[in-house]
Amino acid sequence: MDSQATTSQRAAEVRKIVTVIFFDMVDATGEAERRDVESNERVVDSYRDVVQTVIERHQGTLGPWQGDGVMAVFGIPVLYEDHALRAVRAAADLHERLVSPHGAGPGSGLKVRTGIHTGEVLVGPNVTPELVTGDTPNVADRLQRAAEPNQALLSEATWQLVRHAIESESIGPLKLKGESTPMAAYRLVSVEPSGC
């Protein structure tokens, strides 16, 4: 790409405040080894279907899959005033459907981790998650990596926006890779359903 095209593309980028979820299956390879090929394919297909359905139900935009992990952005292409709460409700919904042994389909009973962060991003002209850049997606991913299995971690920025509608526990400052100072984080315990 020549410098003129790069300059033109950057000029088309806009700043937005969004909430990003990083969601991943824990020990997917080890779990796959304990199943036959057909069973594993059913589990992975069900898992991906549940994730896509839940993210879309809460008006998030799903990014491309990276193995068994995926990023979703709330606030593009449509910015909702309560995008952070929508993201947290989506995370709670995903954990309920996938972690609970009574969840949806053969993908239930899995171990998953989630990181949620709200912040400013640069959005490319096509407004797709893979064109979202900035520190916000990186923080969400690092929170996900710091989470225990079946845990959803919220950043301070997200927690401030949703604390009126959730129950959470502070887990103290986390030293996240690439961040110069420790970051406050909160474990999601429960969230009020929509319509409350």
Helix spans in 58-187 (H): 83-99, 135-146, 156-162
Print pLDDT tens along the chain (196 aa). Answer: 454 444 445 556 788 899 999 999 886 555 545 555 666 677 788 888 999 999 999 999 998 888 888 999 999 887 789 999 999 999 999 988 887 655 555 455 678 899 999 999 887 666 666 667 788 999 999 999 999 999 999 999 999 999 999 999 999 788 877 777 888 999 999 999 876 4
By residue count, the chain amounts to 196
Sequence letter at residue 156: E
- List the beta strands (DSSP E) in the chain: 14-25, 61-66, 69-74, 112-123, 132-133, 151-155, 166-170, 185-191
**Single pTM value for the model:** 0.83
pLDDT score recorded for residue 8: 47
Backbone conformation region of residue 75, classed left if phi is above 0, alpha if psi is from -120 to 50, else beta: left
Q: Which pLDDT score, from 0 to 100, does residue 6 have?
A: 47
According to CATH, the superfamily of the domain at 13-191 is Nucleotide cyclase, GGDEF domain (3.30.70.1230)
Q: Which pLDDT score, from 0 to 100, does residue 5 have?
A: 45
**Domain extents in the chain:** 13-191
